[in-house]
Amino acid sequence: MSESVKKWGPRIVWPLIYFTMFVLIVFATVRTLEILNGGALGDSGDFGPPPEFADRYYRHPLVSFIHMGTGILFLLFAPLQFSTKFRAKNLTLHRWIGRVLMTAGLVAGVTGILAGLWLPAFGGISTMLAVWFFGIAIIICFLRSFWCARNRMIPAHREWIMRAFAIGLGVGTQRILIFIFMPFQLAPFDQIFGPLLWLGIAINLLVAETWINVTRKKR
Ligand code: HEM
């Protein structure tokens, strides 16, 4: 079982990861254009968010720009850092990029919590709890991963950074779930936003923990 997960897992999961990153980049681009435009670019249709959704980003441009920019920077270069070949050939570069990406990821986590408070995050208490819970969790993952790297606990360093990556990418999985669920009209947009944030990040963490378990070397 674990052998087939090792063989097929990356072939299935990496394309999904790149697709989720693409979705996040599209959202970040749209929000950036809306901030520059001073409001929503167009009607988001019957199933999309109400116009106030975009307005919150435009009213808080600084926290929005910093959050989206640092988050995307971290996600874009993280796959390079996971590459065994790249690390083997460029260890010093891996360390420097790692420091930059960890700082970017930490800033994305902190500004995620601030965005939850200031925008404020859509979806009321369930979104707010998710933002606090996973915002603190991603910060812990980064700090623990850095501590492990400094203390030469490399397998543990890899595991903690995978968890941080899974949480960061979970925000994109939530957007994909919104696209899947909204046409069924199970609940209004603001009621489904929070539960799908929990679900999106939980799915990613489940995949990450499975991968961590099947690839963990017996110590
Ligand atoms: C590290 C990778 C991350 C990236 C690339 C990222 C990217 C984004 C993007 C593109 C948006 C705008 C989404 C949209 O318009 O639909 C957004 C919004 C937001 N993000 Fe992040 N994010 C990341 C991590 C986090 C974390 C860890 C948290 C805290 C748990 C967080 C909390 C938020 C909140 C509260 C919003 C506003 C949601 C709303 O519109 O109500 N983000 N993020």
Residue spans of the domains in the chain: they are 2-215
**How high is the pLDDT of residue 5?**
83
Give nearest CA residue, ligand 1 atom 4: 71
Tokens of 173: 């999985």
pLDDT of residue 78 exceeding 60: yes
Compute, in angstroms, the gap from residue 214 CA to the centroid of ligand 1. 30
Q: What is the pLDDT of residues 81-140, one digit of tens each?
A: 999 999 999 999 999 999 999 999 999 999 999 999 999 988 899 999 999 999 999 999
d(CA 52, CA 141): 33
Structural element, H or E, at residue 51: none
Q: Which residue has the higher pLDDT, 179 or 46?
A: 179
Q: What is the pLDDT of residues 171-191, one digit of tens each?
A: 999 999 999 998 888 888 889
Any residues with Cβ below 6 Å from ligand 1, and which?
24, 27-28, 31, 67-68, 71-72, 74-75, 105, 108-109, 112, 115-116, 119, 121-122, 131, 134-135, 138, 167-168, 171, 175
Single-letter amino acid code for the residue at 81? Q
pLDDT of residue 48 exceeding 60: yes
Of the chain, the end-to-end C-alpha distance in Å amounts to 21
pLDDT of residue 56 exceeding 70: yes
Q: What is the pLDDT of residues 28-40, one digit of tens each?
A: 999 999 899 887 7
Q: What is the pLDDT of residues 129-158, one digit of tens each?
A: 999 999 999 999 999 999 999 999 999 999
User: Which atom belonging to ligand 1 lies closest to the Cα atom of 138?
Assistant: 27
**How high is the pLDDT of residue 68?**
97
Compute, in angstroms, the gap from residue 151 CA to the centroid of ligand 1. 31
What's the pLDDT band for 65 if we cut at 50, 70, 90? Answer: very high
Q: How far is CA 97 from CA 51, 91, 104, 139, 158, in A?
A: 38, 10, 10, 18, 15
pLDDT of residue 219 exceeding 60: no
d(CA 219, CA 36): 53
**How high is the pLDDT of residue 42?**
74
Give nearest CA residue, ligand 1 atom 16: 27
pLDDT of residue 43 exceeding 80: no
Compute, in angstroms, the gap from residue 152 CA to the centroid of ligand 1. 32
**How high is the pLDDT of residue 47?**
66
pLDDT of residue 44 exceeding 80: no
Compute, in angstroms, the gap from residue 166 CA to the centroid of ligand 1. 13
**How high is the pLDDT of residue 37?**
86
Three-state secondary structure call for residue 73: helix
User: Which atom belonging to ligand 1 lies closest to the Cα atom of 201?
Assistant: 30
pLDDT of residue 73 exceeding 80: yes
Average pLDDT over residues 44-71: 86
DSSP 180-193: HHGGGTSS-HHHHH
Give nearest CA residue, ligand 1 atom 38: 121
